[in-house]
Chain A
Amino acid sequence: MTQSRRSFIATAGAAMIAAPVVRAQAAARIVVIGGGWGGASAARRLVSLGHAVTLVDADPTYVSCPFSNAVLGGFATMTDITFDRAGLAAEGVTLVIDRAQAIDADARRVRLTGGGTLPYDRLVLSPGVELRLDALEGYDASAAEIMPHAWKAGPQTALLRAQIEAMEDGGTVAIAVPANPYRCPPGPYERAALIAHYLSRAKPRSKVLILDAKDQFSKRPLFEEAWNALYPGVVEWVSQSQGGTVRRVDPETMTLVTDFASHRVAVANVIPPQRAGAIARAAGVADATGWCPVRPESFESTLVSGIHVIGDSCFVGAMPKSAFSANAQAKVAAHAIDAILRGATPSEPRLINTCYSLAAPDYGFTVAGVYAPQDGRLADIEGAGGTSPLGASAEVRATEAKHARAWFANISAEAFG
């Protein structure tokens, strides 16, 4: 071996030790569609692992569903839940403000509404849910301007808050809740509590009526304990078997029609049934359920290779559709993609979900889960997870409310910078 060849190898070797991922960066093109909790977290983790990442989202700002119920309760502002996606660009993500229109999975290309095309080696889909405006009689896009869903935060949140503020004392705010699965299982019941929080101070003769298509719901004993303790007689829950399922809505008369009754209300918050975001269905990664089955170790679609689906759109087993889940899934998917691009096998993951709910600004509780792969899905690890205890002290509830805020601050910083 000549001296010059020896030096060359040594230099190349040193460069590989210092920056091994540079090889992957030069080779791989990663595109992320959707810049919410899942997509933003995935993009940033992949950048931190040394990859070049392009993130596509139609909107330069993001409005968070977590803590949007605090806006309805009057103790947070829209500004508190709004994030600028420019933070992602500052962290090294190539940000494309456009809408993904179609995906050619064979050619591995994304076509954008604006006319551009993005080739990819690995695609991450995190489009969130599509709210079905064809699933409930009378409820379409124009009905949603009168009976807001507020289940995608933004103008809908502000509209519902304005309606509740404008309501006369003595009115009823109805919340129509769909059957499972949907984004944020405990969200409607937190919403009921926080609207009651506002009403009990500003309009004390008013009520909250929950019309539910289910007989059970997440953290039910904790919510019922909180409703009774904090807002006695204000919140009424009508279960499916009591005739709670809303079959039809009439925005003109502000009426919600169930199997047994018609409810004429002052404010109607109609949360429609949901399915995976439209781009996921267009890409062929959704199955007949409307959701996207994925492998637990990589979140790669079981239907189309090269496409990883995270967050509310995916179905991976026991994990609920939450921001915490989306963020945790994003990081597992990012490390798996990193492994795949290095020619390695993704390691067996374990995932955690923690879901905070507030019943008042200083009253919080949680449900948590720890998940491991089992038979191609994520399953609950027995003996782990579960809810906060019933009958806890005010101090414990206040601590969990404080932790809810800490979680929100931390996950926001991790996702959006």
Chain B
Amino acid sequence: MRTVLIATALLAMPVTGLAEVVSQPPPPGATSCTGCHGSAGIPLDTLSAAEIETAMEAFRSGSRSVTLMNRIAAGFTAEESAAIARWLARE
């Protein structure tokens, strides 16, 4: 029975739809972050998506003093930053 359900679900799904399910493109800007951020540089892997999002908001508003990220965060809206944060936390 279970086999039948899986098979039916897959047959119903268009091929491109399937590809998108399993291979979401990164949100705009997200892949640039690993130029600096990673285990060999300035790590982000201890931060949750919510913490990254909060930090980006603080950089954007100027409430958190920082050398560079204020200038980067200004190029993204709150929603865009949130999408990047979720993607970075998952990677």
Contacts and interface: CB of A to CB of B under 8 A. Distances in A.
Interface in A310-342: 324, 327-328, 331-332, 335, 338-339, 342
A368 B32 contact: no
Contacts, number: 140
A383 interface: yes
Nearest to A342: B19
Chain A contact residues, majority secondary structure: helix
A279 B11 CA distance: 46
A136 interface: no
Given A331-B31, A370-B74, A400 B68 contact: yes
Q: What size tier do the contact residues of chain B reach?
A: 35 or more
Contacts of B62: none
A414 B28 contact: no
A414 B38 CA distance: 8
B6 A13 contact: yes
A388 interface: yes
Interface string B40-53: 11100000000000
Interface in A334-358: 335, 338-339, 342-344, 346-352, 354
Interface string A128-146: 0000000000000000000
Contact of B23 (A342, A352, A372, A411): A342
Contacts of A339: 25
Interface residues of A, number: 53
Contact of A344 (B16, B22, B28): B16
A403 B76 contact: no
B71 A368 contact: yes
A396 B67 contact: yes
Interface of A: 6-7, 9-10, 13-14, 16-17, 20-21, 45, 49, 324, 327-328, 331-332, 335, 338-339, 342-344, 346-352, 354, 366, 368, 370, 372, 381, 383-386, 388, 396, 399-400, 403, 406-407, 409-414
Interface of B: 3-4, 6-7, 10-11, 16, 18-20, 22-23, 25-26, 28-29, 31-42, 67-68, 71-72, 74-76, 80
